[in-house]
Each structure stands twice: as C-alpha cells, then as structure tokens.
Amino acid sequence: MSESQSQLRDSNGPRSQAREPGPESELDEPKPPDSPHFESFGINAGWVEEIESQYRVDAGSVDESWCEEFGAAPAAFAARGAREQPRVVRPPSAVPPPEPSSFSTGPANDTGPLGGIDPAQSVDSPELEHPANGTSNGSLRHLSGDAMLLHTADKHARVLRLIHSYRARGHRIAQSDPLGGQSTYFPELDPAHYGFGNESLDEPFIAGDLPGGSVQTLRQILKRLGKTYCGPIGVEYTHVQDPGRKAWLRQLMEESQNDPNLEDGERRRILEKLVAAELFETFLHTKFLGQKRFSLEGGESLIPLLDHIVESAPAFGIREVVLGMAHRGRLNVLANILGKSYESIFSEFEDSPNIHSPFGSGDVKYHKGFSSDRYVLSGERVHLTLTSNPSHLEAVNPVVEGRTKAKQVRAGDTDGETIVPVIIHGDAAFAGQGMVAETVNLSQLDGYCTGGTIHVIVNNQIGYTTTPSEARSTLYCSDVAKMIQVPIFHVNGDHPEAVIHVVKLAMAYRQRFGDDVVIDLVCYRRHGHNEGDEPSFTQPRLYRKIRNKSSVEEIYREQQVSSGRLSSEEAALIEQQRKTALREALELIHSRPPGPDEPYEPRGPWTGYSRLRPDEPLDTAVSLARLVQIAQGISRVPSYFNVHQKLQTILDSRHEAVTEGLAIDWGLAEALAFGSLLLEGMPVRLSGQDCSRGTFSHRHAVLVDQDSGEEYTPLAHIADTQARFEVYDSLLSEAAVLGFEYGYSLADPSSLVLWEAQFGDFANGAQVIIDQFITSAHVKWGRMSGLVMLLPHGYEGQGPEHSSARVERFLQTCAEDCLQIVNCTTPVQFFHVLRRQMLRNYRAPLAIFTPKSLLRHPKATSRVEEFSQGAFQELIDDPVARANPAAVRRLVLCTGKVHYDLVTERAKRLGDRIGEVALVRLEQLYPWPEAAIGELLDRYGDTQDVVWCQEEPQNMGPWSFVWPRIQSLLGDPRRLRYAGRDESASPATGSLRTHKAQLERFLEDALGGL
Ligand SMILES: Cc1ncc(C[n+]2csc(CCOP(=O)(O)OP(=O)(O)O)c2C)c(N)n1
Ligand SMILES: [Mg+2]
C-alpha cells in the first residue's frame, strides 16, 4: 500500500484544528522547494540551488557575484564567452501529451495561446533561450549575471505556474464524462502557453512541492499532473482558502496520482454491487412493466459508491449514516444499500394499500424512508437511515442535517465524527434549488454544523427534459457548493474504481476536517425521466448515443475478465446468484397472501410516545418555590459580568415579578416555561433569526458583557443539574432553518425544539417544509414531531408584510390531528401550552401565533399564582358574563389580540353594562375544542346574537375555518355573524390611518347597536 493510500485509511485521527487559515499567508502558487544548503536565502533558496547546479556545469554562465557563495575563485569566470553561442529556440505551439496523460495537444497548427509570442522575450532578447541547467543546447554566457538569473528564474516560474494551473484547472480537461462531452483543450494547461515546446520535455525544472523530486523533467511533471488531474477524476479544490486543507488533499492526490490501485477484494465487490444495481433495475423493468421507478440506469456506480461509504465507515469511527435522496435510484438504494428486502419492494409495486395502516393515506414507494442495521464485511454494525422525503427536490436536505444533528447531540458526538449525513442530489436540482445554497450555508454554523456532509450528485446531465445549458448559468452543476470552500470531485461514472478512490478521499477529508465534500458523479440517464417517458422527443442525438452505450457493469466486467482478474465463469456466477435472489423474492410474494401490516410501534427515542391525543387536560402548573428558583436563575449573572444597565433593570424586574407577585409578561412567561422544563430534565433548543435577543427585544436569552463582548445565557445556568438550553440566531433563511429544526425534532422527542419566524409572514418562505413535512409527515410516513413554530402575528398597522402569519393557511391543512394551533392571549397561557407540549407523551407539531404589541401590553400580563396552578385553557370564557349569562345579549367570539380591542371598546360603549356582551377567546383553534365551545354555546343559549370577530380580512384569518364549525354547533335559528375586515388580496393595508378606520368599522360591527 502506498503512503498516500495508507493515509486515506488512517485518517480518522484527531481533526485538524485548521478551520481558519493559519498564520502563514495563503499560497495558491506552489512554493519553490526548501533547500537545505541555502536556507539563508529563504524562499529563494531553491533558485539559488538551481544556479549553483548551473554554475557547477558551467561556472562562466553565472554572475561573478555568486562565486564566493559557491566557494570558487572569481578566476573561474575567466572562461566566460569561450563557449558556443546559444541557439535560438522558438517553442512550438504545444507539446504532445506524455503517456498516458490526457492533456490536450491543442489545435495542430495553432500559433499557441499566446499567438506565437515567446514568453521568454518578455524578459530577454529573442536569442536568450537557454536550457535551464546547461546540459543541452547552448548557453547564455554573454548575459550579465542578473539577466541570466532573471531568465532562469522566469523559466522555472513558468513551470511552477503550469503546475499550479493543473491543480486549479486540470478538471477542465479531465475525462470525467462517460458520454465524452468534456473539453480536450484548455489554454492554461497547454505547455505552449508558458513558452515550452517539445525540446523542453526532457529539461529538468524545479518541481516545487510536486511529489517525485524537487527537480523533474517537464515530461515527468506533465505526466504526474495529467494522471492526477486530467484522468477520470477532475477535482476542484484550490478555491479552498485554508492552506492546510489544500496541501493535505494535494499531497494525497499527487502522491497516488489519483490512481485507485485497489485490492482484488475491492474490485470484486465493485462488480458485485454493479451487477446488483443493474439487475435490480432490469428485473423491475420486465416484471412491473410500465410502472415508474425512476431507474438509476446510467448511474449505477452510485451503488458501489454508497456501499463503500458504509463498508469503510467503521474504519473511520462512523457508526451511523443518515441519508437523504430524491426519486432517482431510491428503490435501488433501499434494496442494495439499506437492505430493504426485495419482497417488500415488490409488494409495493403490487400496490395493495393497507386500509388499516396507522399512517393514514401513505405515500408512493419512492418517497418512503427506511432504516436498518447493516453488518459490514468486517463484522461491525452500521446503522443506516434514509429520511422520507416529498417530491419537492432538495427539500429534504435541511431535514437530514437537523436529524443528524439531534442524533449527534444525543450521542454526545460534538464534532460529528460518528454520525454522518450523506445527501444524494440530482444535477438539475442541485444547481437550481435555493434550498441547496441555504443548507450548505448552515454547514459551518454553530448550532447547525454536523461535521461535514457527503454530497453526491447523480449528475446524469439532464433534468426531466432540460439540458445543462438550460438548467444553469454555472459551469458545473456543483458550483454553488464552492461558496463554502469545500473540495468538489467530478468523477466519471463509467470508471467505478475512480469513483471508489474519490469516495476514499472524500471520507478521509470529511473525517479529518469536519467539512462538507461534494462528489459529482458524472453519468447519464438510460431511459426517459421515468420509464414511460420517451427521451428522444427532446434529446434525439443524445439518446442515440446512450442507446448504443454499454452499461458500466458490462464495461467493468469486461475489464476484469480481459485483464485476467476474474474468469468469465466467476462473473457469470455473480450475475446468476443475483438473478436467483430476485426471482425467488417475486415468487415468494406471489405465493403468499399479503399479511397484515406489522402493528406500528414507535422505536428508539420514540418509545413511549404516541399520536393518540389524550382527552383529559394536563396539570402543567409549577410550584411557587420552583418558579422562584427559575426567576433567580434567569436574573443572575456572574459577578465579573457587566450587563447593559437597561437589561439589568429588566432582569431585576423579572425576579421581582415572581417573588413579589407583580405582573408577568410574555418574555418572562416563556423563560419560566423553558426553565421549568430544563429543571425537569428536558432540553430546550430555540432557533430563528435574531431570536436570542428576540426580534421585539423581549426575550434577552443571551446577555452580552458590555466590556468584553462575552456572552452569558442565564437559562443555561439555573441549576447544576438541569438539561441543556440552546438558543441560536440563525442564518437568514426560513426554509432551511425550519427544515433543520423539523429534522431535529424527528430524532429527539424529549427536547423542546422551537423555531421562531422573525415575523409570521415570513413563514411562507418555508411553505414546502410546512406542507410537505410538518403537517403531512405523519399520515404519509408515520413520522411524529413535537416541533413548535412561534409565528408573530397581529394587525398593528405595520403594512402588508408585518401583520399576518397567515392563520388561514395553517387552519386549511388541519385534519387528522396533524397540527396543534393556538393563539394565546395571556403570558400564562403561553407558559402552559409550552409545558403541555412536552409533558404529554403525545407529539404533534404546534404552531403558536405569538404577539408583538401584546408583549408589552399592560393588560396582557399574568400573575404568579396562575403559573403555580391550573393548565392551558382551550377557551377562555368572559368572567363577567359568565357570572350572569341571562344578562348577556350578545356573544362575541374571537381569538388573539383583537380581544383587547374588544374589551376596550366594550368598556367605552357600554360602561357599567359590559355584562351584556360576553367576550370569549378561543385560545386553541385546532384540534377544534368542540366540547368546550358546545358547552359555551349552551351556557349562553338564550343569546341569539352570536358574532365572530377577527382583525384579518374575511378571506383570511380563522373565519372560513370557524364559521361552519360554530354554525353547526349553534343550530337554527341562531346564525353566526361576521365582524372583521373586508375581503382583500393583500393581508393588510399600508396606511396606518386606513388600518385604524378599518378597526373602528369592524368594532362597530361587533359591538354596535346595543
Ligand atoms: C421543487 C421541484 N420542482 C419540480 C419538480 C419536478 N421534477 C421532478 S424530477 C425533475 C428533474 C430533476 O432533475 P435532476 O435534479 O437532474 O434529477 P434526475 O431526475 O435527473 O435524477 C423535476 C423538474 C420537483 N420534483 N421538485
Ligand atoms: Mg439529472
């Protein structure tokens, strides 16, 4: 095993600390080699050594001033001028590639990328051409010492530039496309571009840090560079800023020359996996004719690739892989990587839905998740999880990340070394979907980093019917990943050994540096987008080519047999075994009647949790003593800590509110809820834009020392034995961050996981996560989540975009207990509902429409006794009216902040007759509190005038949802009346004056005429 290969295997040592560039300057250009002899010349030592070797051959060819340095008598220079005149050599336009390099020979009669200009002339006169070490044709003895030195240095510098160009641009002519579409010429990779011709090939040059010796002939240099960077692997890595990372990868690649050099066992394994991948598709194709499966054909190398990740995981200390992927090849991955039985997959093709399924309406087979324990060849176990995902391409990415993060946190894997996310993408989707950029942007952020994701793009060079030139403005489909400075490997899918080599590099890099890595698996798609699609309608020439192409399995098998590594009998046996397994599985499902589905049993961390909603209310009160303990904890800072003076006042008042029984506001109620859960052993994780202070400056979960800038999080220090409290100001994204938190909640039901929208309006930027995951995952995939969404909502005259969290959208999705939706009007209700979310074993996502102006509204406060007694109330009756229902002439129902407008208006209009109007608050909109509302309507059964009042326009807010439900409970002849804003296309007016006028008008509708 070569040194570089053993480094690949042994790279699971401690991670490099090199997240930030080290103190040395960033050097994209290679350094000259260090010379032990001329260290005093520093970075120029290499040049000086070179001059010395020139001097040894021809003392007269170097400047006199060097003689003392080299220990010779100045007299040695007397011979100057005695040698023959230098021969002028004009470089041809290009150099033929040294075997077996793939670099271009360039256009045959081209004058070269510099239009025939000899770069040497830029520093010397035309006749200055001179072999670097004087071993070949001619000398430049007539030159002055300085000119000679410059000339020589320039020539070596040009070679070093050439070397750098291969490192940076070699991928431009790499043979990474199995369809042969890659370029064969790129000017900066042509030696002629640097003024070198054929006759220079055997000249020795300083090779910098290129392995193979500090001085190498140009031929040797080009050969190594060509093999390393222009074979079936094209690699982009010089954009990585950290010199340490770059040098590490460069060394591994250049020493091995990216030659996979696999062992026989590895080769056989590749063939077995390719056979399995191909036969799986062709079997489905013939047995389930016309059914969609989104075949992997053309990209079968994905299977040996993923197989290698799993097989080599234990050697890297990895014990779990969390996968996410779209439709393409998903069934193949389920069967051949996760070990889902052929029988279960075939049964799904038979489509016999179980009407008793606990998962409701279910999903198509190529969206479903799966998990398994795989025992790799070494006997060790690797847990594999494929996350369920919707059609919405790339939406699963942040979910995979969040899920991985939660698993890592639970396992105490702070650096993400043992649990690894692997996401498989399509080329068009990776380039096109913003979710990709958002997700990779999370990758290095505190609170979201998972220690590096292995991204694999199944780059079949087409998206549905769209070609790459239509699908992106970038050169590569992977270019967006460059923003996070990670290496990108483009590898030819028809070269499975190169694919395995790339996986080794990628895994070693990820494990060492904790960064993402991207593998662009360049392949093709054998059929149409799905198997019923005719690809020649849109890409006739491409598909003519593809039709005539041998599969990667055929190519590889042929290589193995012809090289004598495998007999054709052995190859046939591998194929036969796989065919038999497939056939037997099909026979099995045909011969036995479909059995009942296994009863659904939550497993792992979900053991004991349920989606069966308990009916009885839960006591969520917290003892006074504990509330005081929390209040002390959250208002305490270390003695050295210098808090902002205003914040100190807030901290003091929080403490007093609890100990002295004063008004408790929203911020404090939330802190008391969090603190109580933490003390009961339940971790709390909150993330969202600017949420640690709070958009409305009400939370102050993180304090900043006014001198040192140090941060202190009081909730994390309430007691010695408490659970973990984390709060993160997120990336300015909704979709990826909400997706991440949703993913986190999937893997950790015992933590309170909250995402806060800056304003509720922005939540629709994450609509795909809400619709495709949060609200529907349980009925589609049987996945529970206890995620909480905090959605600031309320009409305060701030314009169309800071008013509505689109209550109607959430309500519209409500069915089958998919969500809980609350709109609390008091801090204590907020406290109790947060506690209820954790204290029940029931887990369903919770959307809370949270206040803005109410955060500081003097009436929207609670008293400490309400925290130490009671529970969340789904509906709050009017205390005055309730005392005398017979006096009530009008019943006005509402939810949220408008309640306070109604209270004020009622007092203004009715004075001491307020008991004639009952103002009732619906605190929970879903699950619909039917029993409580029914009771309420009975209580005020004599009241004929029943109104629903809302501040949103009639086509928005809860009206459409509540109207049929309340009306059916009211029964004839009572009719529910509407008081609210008129229908509108935009959620709110941009004019404060209009806002107020609208408010007055609908308050008149609600309370007028009494
Ligand atoms: C967000 C989203 N938009 C559109 C689609 C419809 N769609 C399904 S597959 C596909 C093409 C995907 O191309 P690519 O990412 O290259 O994957 P491939 O199918 O080639 O493997 C499209 C547009 C989708 N599934 N998701
Ligand atoms: Mg594609």
Query: Given pLDDT bands bounded at 50, 70 and 90, which one contains residue 141?
Result: low
Q: What is the pLDDT of residue 289?
A: 79
Instruction: Determine the distance separating the centroid of ligand 1 and the alpha carbon of 144, expressed in angstroms.
Output: 66
- Ligand in nearest proximity to the CA of 460: 2
Host H or E run for residue 978: strand 975-981
Please give the number of the atom of ligand 1 that sits closest to the Cα of 299.
21
The secondary structure of residue 516, as a DSSP letter, is -
Query: Rounded to an integer, what distance in angstroms lies between the CA atom of residue 881 and that of residue 461?
Result: 69
CA 468 to ligand 2 centroid distance, Å: 9
Structure tokens at 985: 């296309």
Closest ligand to C-alpha of residue 424 is 1
Ligand 1 pocket, residue 391 CB under 6 Å: yes
Distance (Å, whole) CA 132 – CA 148: 10
Ligand 1 pocket test, pick from 297, 393, 436 with the greatest ligand atom count within 8 Å of Cβ, gives 393
CA of 316 to the centre of ligand 1 (A): 33
Rounded-to-integer distance, Cα 903 and Cα 915, Å:
11
Distance separating alpha carbons of residues 303 and 336, to the nearest angstrom: 7
Residue 946 pLDDT exceeds 50: yes
Instruction: Give dist(CA 341, CA 393) in Å, integer.
Output: 26
- Which long-range CB contacts under 8 A does 860-863 form with residues at least 24 apart? 860/665, 860/666, 860/825, 860/826, 860/827, 860/900, 861/663, 861/664, 861/665, 861/826, 861/827, 862/663, 862/664, 862/669, 862/826, 862/827, 862/828, 862/829, 862/831, 863/661, 863/663, 863/664, 863/828
Integer Cα distance of 455 and 502 in angstroms:
12
Helix, strand, coil percentages in the chain from 3-state DSSP, rounded to 5: 45, 10, 45
Distant-in-sequence contacts of 96-101, Cβ < 8 A, 24+ apart: 96/198, 97/222, 97/226, 98/201, 98/219, 98/220, 98/222, 98/223, 98/226, 99/223, 100/226, 100/227, 101/222, 101/223, 101/225, 101/226, 101/227, 101/230
pLDDT on residue 617: 85
pLDDT at 70 over 60: no
Task: Report the C-alpha gap between 446 and 729 in whole angstroms.
Answer: 9
Contact (Cβ atoms closer than 8 angstroms) between residue 89 and residue 128? no
Per-residue model confidence (pLDDT) at position 138:
42
pLDDT digits (tens, 9 = 90+) for 290-332: 788 899 999 999 999 999 999 999 999 999 999 999 999 999 9
pLDDT tier at 600 (50, 70, 90 boundaries)?
low
Distance 174 CA to ligand 2 centre (A): 20
**Could you tell me which residues are beta bridge partners of residue 685?**
726, 753
Q: Is any atom of ligand 1 closer than 6 Å to the C-beta of 462?
A: yes
436 lines ligand 1 (CB under 6 A): no
> Which ligand 1 atom lies nearest to the CA of residue 425?
15
The residue nearest atom 19 of ligand 1, judged by CA position, is 463
For 41-50, 477-486, 715-724, 921-930, which range has the lowest pLDDT when averaged over its residues?
41-50
Any atom of ligand 1 within 6 Å of the Cβ of 464: yes
Q: Please compute the mean of the pLDDT values over residues 89-103 and round it to a whole number.
A: 32
- Pocket of ligand 1 contains residue 458 by CB under 6 Å: yes
Taking the CA of residue 426 as reference, the ligand 1 atom at the shortest distance is: 15
Q: 463: Cβ below 6 Å to ligand 1?
A: yes
As given in the structure block, the two tokens for residue 570 are 């052995």
pLDDT tens digits for range 978-1002: 999 999 999 999 999 999 999 999 9
- Whether ligand 1 lies within 6 angstroms of the CB of 428 is answered as yes
With a pLDDT cut of 90, the percent of the chain lying above it is: 77
Nearest-5° angle of CA 133, CA 138, CA 143? 80
> Residue 352: is its pLDDT beyond 60?
no
pLDDT of residue 105: 30
Q: Which residues pair with 686 in a beta bridge?
A: 727, 754
The pLDDT assigned to 880 comes to 95
Residue 132, pLDDT score: 38
Closest Cα to residue 724, out of 757, 751, 758, 754?
Answer: 751
What does DSSP say about strands 215-217 and 204-206: parallel, antiparallel, or unpaired? Answer: antiparallel
Q: What is the DSSP string of 132-155?
A: TTSSSS---TTS-HHHHHHHHHHH
Mean pLDDT over the full length of the chain: 87
Q: Is the CB of 292 under 6 A from ligand 1?
A: no
Residue 766, ligand 1, Cβ within 6 A: no
Burial class (CB in 10 A: 0-12, 13-18, 19+), 604: exposed
pTM above 0.95, yes or no: no
- The arithmetic mean of pLDDT across residues 629-658, rounded, is 96
Best probe residue, ligand 1, of 292, 464, 773 (max atoms within 8 Å of C-beta):
464
Using 50, 70 and 90 to split pLDDT, how confident is the model at 125? Answer: very low
Distance CA(929)–CA(855), nearest Å, equals 26
- Looking at 30-34, 405-409, 411-415, which range is the least confident one? 30-34
Cite the DSSP H helix spans in 944-991.
959-970
CB 760 less than 6 A from any atom of ligand 1: no
3-state secondary structure of 817: coil
Question: End-to-end alpha-carbon separation of the chain, Å?
Answer: 93
Is any ligand 1 atom within 6 A of the Cβ of residue 712? no
List the structure tokens of 870: 């009671």
Residues across the chain: 1010
Å from CA of 456 to ligand 2 middle = 12
Q: With a cut of 50, say whether residue 22 has pLDDT above it.
A: no
Q: At what angle do helices 827-839 and 666-679 cross, to 10 degrees?
A: 20
Nearest atom (ligand 1) to Cα of 395: 1
Cα(463) to centroid(ligand 1), Å: 6
In contact, 777 and 810? CB cutoff 8 Å: no
Q: Is the CB of 435 under 6 A from ligand 1?
A: no
pLDDT, tens only, 192-249: 999 999 999 999 999 999 999 999 999 999 999 999 999 999 999 999 999 999 999 9
- Regarding the beta carbon of 895 and ligand 1, being less than 6 Å apart is answered no
Ligand nearest to the CA of 366: 1
- Quick one: which atom of ligand 1 is closest to the CA of 459? 16
Closest atom of ligand 1 to CA, residue 433 = 1
Residue with tokens 């990585």, as numbered in its chain: 240
Q: Check residue 16 and give its pLDDT.
A: 42
* Side chain identity, residue 295: S
pLDDT at res. 103? 33
Name 997's Cβ contacts closer than 8 Å, sequence gap at least 6. Answer: none
Kindly tell me if the per-residue pLDDT of 123 is higher than 50.
no
Say whether the peptide bond before residue 927 is cis (omega within 30 degrees of 0).
Answer: yes
The predicted structure's pLDDT at residue 364: 77
Beta-sheet strands, E only, within 288-447? 320-325, 370-375, 381-386, 419-426
Token pair in block for residue 928: 């619909």
- Name 958's bridge partners: none
Bigger pLDDT: 878 or 86? 878
> Sign of dihedral through CA atoms 823, 829, 831, 837?
negative
Q: Which of the ligands is closest to the CA of residue 393? A: 1
Residue 391 CA, closest ligand 1 atom number: 25
460 C-beta closer than 6 A to ligand 1: yes
Confidence of residue 359 (pLDDT cuts 50, 70, 90): low
Q: Is 8 helix (H, G, I), strand (E, B) or coil?
A: helix
**Whether the CB of 427 sits within 6 Å of ligand 1:** yes
Contact 649, 848 (CB under 8 A): no
CB 722 within 8 A of CB 683: no
Confidence of residue 644 (pLDDT cuts 50, 70, 90): very high
> How many whole angstroms separate alpha carbon 51 and alpha carbon 66?
9
Reported as a single tens digit per residue, the pLDDT across 522-562 is: 999 999 998 888 999 999 999 999 999 999 999 999 999 99
pLDDT band for position 53 (cuts 50, 70, 90):
low
pLDDT of residue 82: 30
pLDDT interval class at 855 (50, 70, 90): very high
Given a cut of 60, is residue 129 above it in pLDDT?
A: no
* Residue 121 to residue 113: CA distance in whole angstroms: 15
Please name which ligand lies nearest the alpha carbon of 292.
1
DSSP 598: P
Query: How far is 78 from 377, CA to CA, in rounded Å?
Result: 73
Task: Give distance in angstroms: CA of 393 to centre of ligand 2.
Answer: 11
- Tokens matching residue 113: 């990328």
Provide φ and ψ at 410, rounded to 5°. -65, -35
Instruction: Give the three-state DSSP class for 560.
Output: helix
How far is ligand 1, taken at its centre, from the CA of residue 649, in Å? 55
Residue nearest to atom 13 of ligand 1 (CA): 463
Instruction: State the DSSP code for 732.
Output: S
Ligand 1 lined by 772 (C-beta under 6 Å): no
Which ligand has the nearest atom to the CA of 771? Answer: 1
Nearest CA to ligand 1 atom 9: 464
Residue 329 CA, closest ligand 1 atom number = 21
Q: Which atom of ligand 1 is nearest to the CA of 477?
A: 16
461 CB less than 6 Å from ligand 1? Answer: no
Would you say the CB of residue 429 lies under 6 angstroms from ligand 1?
A: yes
**Ligand 1: which atom is nearest the Cα of residue 393?**
26
Please report the pLDDT score of residue 219 as a whole number. 97
pLDDT single digits (tens) 427-465: 999 999 999 999 999 999 999 999 999 999 999 999 999
**Whole-number pLDDT of residue 154:** 94
C-alpha to C-alpha distances, 522 to 276, 773, 964, nearest whole angstrom: 20, 30, 55
Tokens of 626: 């504990």
- pLDDT tens-digit series, residues 460-491: 999 999 999 999 999 999 999 999 999 999 99
Q: Residue 64's pLDDT is what?
A: 56
Question: Any idea which of 65-69, 127-131, 605-609, 616-620 has the lowest mean pLDDT?
Answer: 127-131
Atom number of ligand 1 nearest to Cα 427: 16
Ligand 2 centroid, distance to 463 Cα (angstroms): 4
Q: Looking at the CA of 394, which ligand is closest?
A: 1
Nearest atom in ligand 1 to 432's CA: 15
Q: What is the pLDDT of residue 39?
A: 41
Q: Of 445, 415, 406, 442, which Cα lies nearest the Cα of 744?
A: 406
Q: How far is CA 672 from CA 307, 657, 661, 669, 758, in A?
A: 49, 12, 14, 5, 22
**How much distance in Å is there from the Cα of 295 to the middle of ligand 1?**
13
| 477 Cβ closer than 6 Å to some ligand 1 atom | no
Residue 818 pLDDT greater than 70, yes or no: yes
- Is the Cβ–Cβ distance between 496 and 270 less than 8 Å? yes
Residues 6+ apart with CB under 8 A from 111: 93
| pLDDT of residue 160 exceeding 80 | yes
Q: What percent of the chain has pLDDT over 70?
A: 84
